[in-house]
Every structure is written in C-alpha cells, then in structure tokens.
C-alpha cells in the first residue's frame, strides 16, 4: 500500500519546524508544505537535506499577513492588513465579497516567495484550513496551473475512510444526519477531484481513520498486520509539533504534540516499513 505522510504548516513556528525536520530525518514523514507568509518559513532550506522528501506550498488565505501588499489584496484582509479568519473568509467568499483576482495574486506571490526562500519550485500545493476545497479558490488554483508553465501537483480533496481495515468512499455512522452530511460532502469533493485532475497531478485522495482522529490513524499504522491491498496512492495529512510553544492562536495544540510522539515512536518507525512510503516526487 502506497502512502504519502504530509506535515502541514512548516514555517508556522520553530516548534513545528523542528518536529518536521526531526521526522523527515528518521523517515516517518515523506512530505511537507510551507506557510511562506510566516517568518519561520526561512528555515525551509533545511528540508533539502533529505533527498526523497517533497516540499510544497501551504497556500494560506486565513492566518497572518499576506505576502502581497495589503493594498493589492484589499478584499482578503481586515483594516489592519491581516487575513480574515476562516469563518469570516468563508462568509465573505459566499457573499462574493472576495475578489477572485486577489486570490490569484496572493497565490502567485506566495509561490514566488517559496521559490525565493528555498531556491526550488514547490513539489505540490495544498492549503491552510483546506481553503482549496472552496470552489472560488479551486478556479484560481486551476487558472494558475495553466499559467505557470510547469508540472504542478495538488492535494486531492477527495477523501476515503479506513474502517475495519478496509478503505471505503462512503461512511455510515450511528447518526443518520451526520452520515447524510458526510456523504453529501463526499460527492462534492469527488467533483472537485475530477476538476483538479484536468490541471494537476494528484494522489488518489486523503485517507482518514473512521474516528476522524489522526492519532488513531497513526496508532493503526503502528500496530496493524492487515494492510489493505490497494493500487492507489493515498495521502495522510498531519500537523506535528514538538511542543505547544507558540501555538496560542492555533486550533490544534496538544494534538500536534501527540502526533509528533506517535510519528517518532519506535513502534511506528518499525511497522511503517510494511507500507510503501513515497513523496509527491513520485506522482
């Protein structure tokens, strides 16, 4: 079974960076994406010590300041020049108060910032808080892919569930309402996957444990002896950190530390050898 384990948020702070560099070094991560509008993104060159590791762009429209001049992306920022938070961004996006050309401009400038910091083009693109699953953002990403003049890869928004050692598209829980909502969303994500496939190379989709807890997915990888037989490449995103320092504004705190501990454990390292861990360079 081929998997990509991608750590989001490189550049968020030094604690996040250290965890990703540590895990890349021991071989339990194969990929990361960089938030280039944060100061700690300047450490990105350290990642190029790992030959088979892929380093991409974590496109961000909902935290910190833009890379662009705030006066050039006025609909993306508040009166202080900071991005709107996620809930406000989504509300404004639905109200068509976000200018599509400003999404494109910020994407283009974050891409250029990545090249400037790393000396390389990103191997792939995903997004902070999954804004690349919002169709107005999807359109601008695909427009950018057509203009950039080189092969681009993107995180496939399609999602799959691991349940009883089987990978399945649809999932039914004890809650009828939750099941309907989850599976309806899956249909929308499948449409986005098809749309993206016309412009980008992708993995088959994201793989989630049926509890939707990332630590449970990593516990399963650490202990399973029954690996699904699948010809597809699945991505498992995560958000590790060595500690909670500097995470006051993050929705993920202790969860990041728990992920780091699991990914760095001897048990995880040993059982991961039973999988085929690849990076976006192989797509």
CATH of the domain at 254: 3.20.20.370
Query: What's the pLDDT at 128?
Result: 98
In the chain, the DSSP E strands lie at: 2-10, 31-34, 54-59, 125-127, 159-163, 166-168, 205-209, 233-238, 276-277
* DSSP label at residue 51: T
Query: What's the pLDDT at 249?
Result: 79
End-to-end distance of the chain based on CA atoms, in angstroms? 15
Average pLDDT, 10 consecutive residues per value, the chain (283 residues)? 98 97 98 97 97 97 98 98 98 98 98 98 97 98 92 95 93 79 93 96 96 94 94 97 88 92 98 97 95
Query: What's the pLDDT at 131?
Result: 98
* DSSP label at residue 82: P
Nearest-angstrom CA–CA distance, 20 and 8: 9
The 10 Å Cβ neighbour count of residue 20 is 34
| Alpha carbon 44 to chain centroid, angstroms | 16
Nearest-angstrom CA–CA distance, 244 and 248: 8
Query: What's the pLDDT at 179?
Result: 84
Cut 0.85: pTM above it: yes
Domain count, the chain: 1
Query: What's the pLDDT at 120?
Result: 97
Return the SS3 of 201: strand
- C-beta separation of 165 from 224 below 8 A: yes
Query: What's the pLDDT at 240?
Result: 97
Domain of residue 190 covers 2-282
Query: What's the pLDDT at 247?
Result: 85
């Amino acid at each position: 079974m081929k998997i990509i384990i991608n750590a989001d948020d490189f550049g968020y702070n030094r604690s996040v960076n250290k965890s990703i560099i540590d895990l890349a070094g021991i071989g339990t991560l194969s990929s990361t994406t960089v938030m280039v509008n944060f100061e700690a993104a300047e450490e990105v060159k350290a990642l190029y010590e790992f030959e088979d590791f892929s380093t991409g762009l974590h496109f961000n429209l909902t935290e910190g300041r833009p890379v662009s001049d705030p006066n050039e992306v006025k609909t993306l920022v508040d009166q202080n020049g900071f991005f709107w938070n996620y809930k406000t961004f989504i509300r404004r996006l639905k109200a068509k108060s976000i200018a599509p050309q400003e999404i494109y401009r910020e994407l283009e400038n974050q891409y250029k910032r990545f090249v400037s910091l790393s000396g390389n083009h990103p191997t792939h693109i995903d997004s902070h808080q999954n804004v690349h699953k919002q169709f107005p953002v999807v359109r601008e990403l695909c427009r950018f892919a057509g203009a950039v003049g080189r092969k681009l890869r993107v995180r496939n928004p399609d999602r799959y569930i691991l349940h009883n050692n089987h990978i399945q598209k649809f999932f039914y829980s004890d809650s009828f309402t939750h099941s309907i909502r989850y599976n309806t969303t899956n249909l929308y994500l499948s449409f986005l996957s098809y749309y993206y496939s016309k412009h980008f190379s992708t993995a088959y989709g994201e793989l989630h444990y049926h509890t939707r807890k990332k630590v449970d997915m990593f516990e399963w990888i650490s202990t399973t002896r029954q690996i699904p037989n699948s010809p597809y490449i699945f991505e498992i995103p995560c958000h590790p950190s060595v500690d909670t320092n500097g995470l006051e504004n993050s929705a993920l705190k202790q969860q990041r530390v728990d992920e780091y501990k699991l990914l760095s454990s001897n048990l995880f390292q040993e059982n991961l050898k039973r999988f085929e861990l690849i990076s976006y360079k192989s797509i």
